Amino acid sequence: MEIKVLFTILISTIFINNYVLAQMLGLCPFLGVSKKLDSALGMGLAVIFVMTLASFITFIVYKYILFPYEITYLRTIVFILVIASLVQLVEMIIEKTSPTLYQALGIFLPLITTNCAVLGVTVLNIDSGFISTEFGLLKSIVQGVGAGIGFTIALLLMAGIRERLETADIPKNLKGLPITFVTAGLLALSFLGFSGMKF
């Protein structure tokens, strides 16, 4: 039974409630990094890593420190500082292991801190009531993983399309951001089809 619930969460966050295309979170890096497929993939993997770890740590901090001591109003500050530290950590790891990727991601790596989707998934874990259900920690982690995977999929799709758009004949005023948004809109429209999936 529990596996089914986890699977539902996973499918729901990746397809039905895709964080970028359905919930409209994480847009700044989505538009900034999706120009090339390789940097998109690298960014996506970094985001999955940060989201999973952030879900884990913030959930534990909320359940065992913030909630029992009734300082839940410090949630926003604590969560964002946890995320900022994690991003710093990821930055250092990438710099050491793959300098080329580090160069390719450039400014967008520290910008994962301000990625609405990362803070969004940590807050949504709490708002979905996971702290009072059993296996709440596991559900939060799965939701984090799912959010990251959904973000990566959206990013990859966008990158693939944008690479093609480079060589397409687009009217002058539509070039750049406008056509990107319209494309994202059409992608979001296609993902709407998932909203009818039932379990």
Partner 1 sequence: MNYLKEFTKGLWEKNPILVLSLGLCPTLAVTTSVTNALWMCLASTFVLVCSNVLVSIIKKYIPSHIRIPVFITIIASFVTVVELTLKAFQPNVYNSLGIFIPLIVVNCMILGRAEEFASKNNILVSIFDGLGMGIGFGLTLTILAFFRETLGANKLFGLTFIPGMRPVMAMILAPGAFITLGLMLWAMNSFKSRKKKGG
Partner 2 sequence: MKKFLTKIILFFNNNYLAKPTFILALVVFLAAFILSHVKEITYPSILRQTEEKEKLALNLVLPGYHSLLKRRVEIEGKDFIFWEGEKKDLNKESKGYAFISFEPGYSGPVKSMVGFNDQGKILGIYILEQTETPGLGARCLEVASSQLFWTSFFKAKKKNLNHSRPWFQEQFKGLDLTKGIKILQKGDWNQSLRKELLQVNGITSLTGATITSKAVTKSLQAGFKVLKEKINLTIPAVQNLDNNFLEDDENINREREEE
Told to check if 125 binds partner 1 by CB under 8 A, we report no
Distance, CA of 169 to CA of 194 (rounded, Å): 31
Exposed/middle/buried for 6, CB within 10 Å: 0-12, 13-18, 19+?
middle
The closest alpha carbon to 59, from 122, 127, 9, belongs to 122
Told to check if 131 binds partner 1 by CB under 8 A, we report no
Rank residues 27 and 138 by Cβ distance to partner 1 and give the closer one.
27
Q: Which of residues 51-80 bind partner 2 (CB under 8 A)?
A: 71, 73-74, 77
Distance in Å, CB of 73 to partner 2, minimum: 5
Rank residues 17 and 180 by Cβ distance to partner 2 and give the closer one.
17
Distance, CA of 46 to CA of 182 (rounded, Å): 26
The residue assigned the tokens 């410090």 is: 74
| Whole-number Cα distances in Å, 167 to 6, 144, 161, 163, 175 | 42, 36, 11, 8, 11
Rank residues 123 and 161 by Cβ distance to partner 2 and give the closer one.
123
Residue 119 interacts with which of partner 1, partner 2, none, CB < 5 to 8 Å by class: partner 1
* Residue 178: how many other CB atoms lie within 10 Å: 12
Interface map 80-109 toward partner 2 (x if CB under 8 A): -x----------------------------
Please report, as a single letter, which amino acid is at residue 23. Answer: Q
* Residue 135: how many other CB atoms lie within 10 Å: 13
Please report, as a single letter, which amino acid is at residue 120. Answer: G
Told to check if 74 binds partner 1 by CB under 8 A, we report yes
| Whole-number Cα distances in Å, 59 to 3, 72, 121, 146 | 20, 12, 11, 16
Q: Which of 65, 89, 174, 197 touches partner 1 (CB under 8 A)?
A: 174
Q: Which of 129, 178, 185, 193 touches partner 2 (CB under 8 A)?
A: 129
Rank residues 19 and 49 by Cβ distance to partner 1 and give the closer one.
19
Told to check if 3 binds partner 2 by CB under 8 A, we report no
Contact positions vs partner 2 (CB under 8 A): 17, 23, 71, 73-74, 77, 81, 127-129, 132, 195, 198
Contact positions vs partner 1 (CB under 8 A): 21-28, 31, 73-77, 79-81, 84, 110-111, 113-116, 119-120, 123-124, 127, 172-174, 177-186, 188-189, 191-192
